[in-house]
Structure 1
């Protein structure tokens, strides 16, 4: 992340080291490993006195089961221990229990289900598995303001904007706006509310990401049939833009945003009159594709985001909590440069919704500002346009590789 907010990693490290000094797990020595009992099938059964489950599993097992590296898992577990210890309103749990609950939840996020053999391996009663996922999801949701932050200062915003300008030439863009759709199963009476533009039932969550694929904002869990512009206009981040809290900046969105205020959408085909508009649309498309990479990373690492089961329109909180938890973990995985567990599958963006007539009339001033920007930044063609396009596509792909050097968790001096 290219702005000062990236120091959250160092802050969180101080937090959990201070708060969890009494909870730091001891590495099991050879004697304790040998004294652990096994069942007839050879599965290690951990005694209550054993401290860390992570110490008995090899790195490959951890990666396959939880889709994180050992170092990243240790950080996640310790942060959750620290947060649960500080929360006086949450029932207290010992360090061993918290670790088991956390790993059980991480397995569910990674695979979308939680089998008994995993809960047995973790020493967790299978009947408590659902409670474990709910509890850990709530803790991670509470940690969202610490790990998902929108650039709050001028320097931070310009740092993010510089990254977008480098790959596209579009100035003052501080994020890409998109919606994550997660398949759900609503009741028959509510099916129409959840039917999205791709013909299946879903909930949608609005996200904003930077050029490196870090999430900057996550909010507004709504039925999948809700118009994306309505979601944007009712969101907290949109209200901040309306108050000019983020200065003269934009977020970049698709045609479905209908040129909403503070959102840069592509020029409609019928309105393309100049080469500048065509070049702008090409540049817009390059950046817009990064939204596919972010959504693809989320659904590849967290298989639970393919389907979250039954849902009621009046009670979206449990589903929203799981989605937010996965988003927090996504940013943590980026900081630890954790590779994806399998080949990235790009998420297909949803078809654009039709623009309402009143919306066309409401944003004349915004449209004029966009036209001025397009003419100023894209009015002159360059001989290196094709070369730049190839470089830009490759740059986006490289920036979104979790194991790239550009977002290494060891580099905490970004500003």
Structure 2
């Protein structure tokens, strides 16, 4: 799982300790049977109980001016919004709210609290042994050694005012629609390892990587001699492994197939998130100078994605096409790639893809069952 075992156990212990205080207290979720719970929130009862307890603990350290309702009720409104992109009438009625009561304020509060939990539930492996183990799992999947995860820009649709032409254009991405973009790294199982930034959709992913905390950390080798796999919008470097442009022989073709196999895990992961949390399909109106609320929702859904995977909660069935990963914003002037990075990638190709191995096959598509 994304967060280390000791971290998970510590959180569990803290939650169990507080749960004894709340034992016997009725929850507003009790009114729903298992099927209705999943339809309303796309999560299971044990998973929801864990989330509610975690939020309750966090809220004890957050100074709220005047709580509108119980923590369970606030979590219910937020989870319902994440699942459907709107607050449904049944849930609002259950907690005594209407649309005119501005449930978005409740969603904003809970999103900020859950986003703040990312330090517990979203992280790279903390020890050298854990990193080696994670890289071994990736190598087993695709045949590429020393890879910790997949790096990609995650675009989320927004609405922007067309009357503010410069601002509107800044949100238009390479696919031609308005979005915000975050930098996401996931592992080969689809767990989120890192989520940073919330920028206008036209932002170049290489710029995000170079200015991101995780990018600086990896390029300074604080995570060790490991790669993350990136698409064509990134520059090949000592720690970002990109495909070969115009492969000239069989071993380079095999490498690109393997690269695509692990890279496709990100598409499946983001597709799973957007199916479970339909709010990510359309985040609503955005302004360039105030993206914090959008960032909190993206981070909150990333935290909940990891928790849902820990509880083995499947996403809802696919109900529509999920947009593919973006091809990347190409620089107007080709980047100069370091000879050291080219040599390192070539070494991987020569050592691992000169002959066909059991981990290298013609499959390039990763299904939900794979991750």
| Shorter-chain TM-score above 0.5 | yes
* Alignment partner of 1:350 out of 326, 331, 341: 326
**Structure 1 residues 230, 25: CA separation in 2 closer, same or farther (over 3 Å shift)?**
farther
What TM-score results when the alignment is normalised by the length of structure 2? Answer: 0.92
Q: Give the CA RMSD over aligned residues.
A: 2.1
Q: State the match for 1:44 in structure 2.
A: none
**Structure 1 residues 156, 347: CA separation in 2 closer, same or farther (over 3 Å shift)?**
farther
1:11 aligns with 2:2: no
- The count of corresponding residues between Structure 1 and Structure 2 is 366
Unaligned runs of 5+ in 1: 27-50, 401-415
Structure 2: how far apart are the matches of 1:291 and 1:311?
Answer: 25
Structure 1: how far apart are the matches of 2:344 and 2:256?
Answer: 16
**Structure 1 residues 243, 351: CA separation in 2 closer, same or farther (over 3 Å shift)?**
closer
Structure 2: how far apart are the matches of 1:25 and 1:65?
Answer: 24
Structure 1: how far apart are the matches of 2:170 and 2:255?
Answer: 35
**Structure 1 residues 219, 290: CA separation in 2 closer, same or farther (over 3 Å shift)?**
same
Structure 1: how far apart are the matches of 2:359 and 2:18?
Answer: 53
1:335 aligns with 2:310: yes
Q: State the match for 2:73 in structure 1.
A: 100
Aligned partners of 1:176 and 1:253 also within 8 Å: yes
Counterparts of 1:182-197 in structure 2 under 5 Å? 182-188=156-162, 189=164, 190-197=167-174
Q: How much has 1:15 moved relative to structure 2?
A: 1.6
Q: State the match for 1:45 in structure 2.
A: none
Q: How much has 1:258 moved relative to structure 2?
A: 2.8
Counterparts of 1:82-121 in structure 2 under 5 Å? 82-87=57-62, 89-91=63-65, 93=67, 97-121=70-94
Aligned partners of 2:204 and 2:328 also within 8 Å: no
CA displacement, residues 91-131 of structure 1 (integer Å, 9 cap, x when unaligned): 4649x611001000000000001134421112346515121
Counterparts of 1:44-193 in structure 2 under 5 Å? 51-87=26-62, 89-91=63-65, 93=67, 97-124=70-97, 126=99, 127-188=101-162, 189=164, 190-193=167-170
Which has the higher Rg, Structure 1 or Structure 2? 1
What TM-score results when the alignment is normalised by the length of structure 1? Answer: 0.83
Structure 2: how far apart are the matches of 1:286 and 1:252?
Answer: 11
Counterparts of 1:202-241 in structure 2 under 5 Å? 202-241=179-218
Aligned partners of 1:175 and 1:210 also within 8 Å: yes
Q: State the match for 1:242 in structure 2.
A: 219
Q: How much has 1:393 moved relative to structure 2?
A: 5.3
Q: State the match for 2:370 in structure 1.
A: 399
Q: How much has 1:19 moved relative to structure 2?
A: 3.7
**Structure 1 residues 362, 356: CA separation in 2 closer, same or farther (over 3 Å shift)?**
farther
Q: How much has 1:85 moved relative to structure 2?
A: 1.5
In structure 1, the residue corresponding to 2:21 is in which secondary structure?
coil
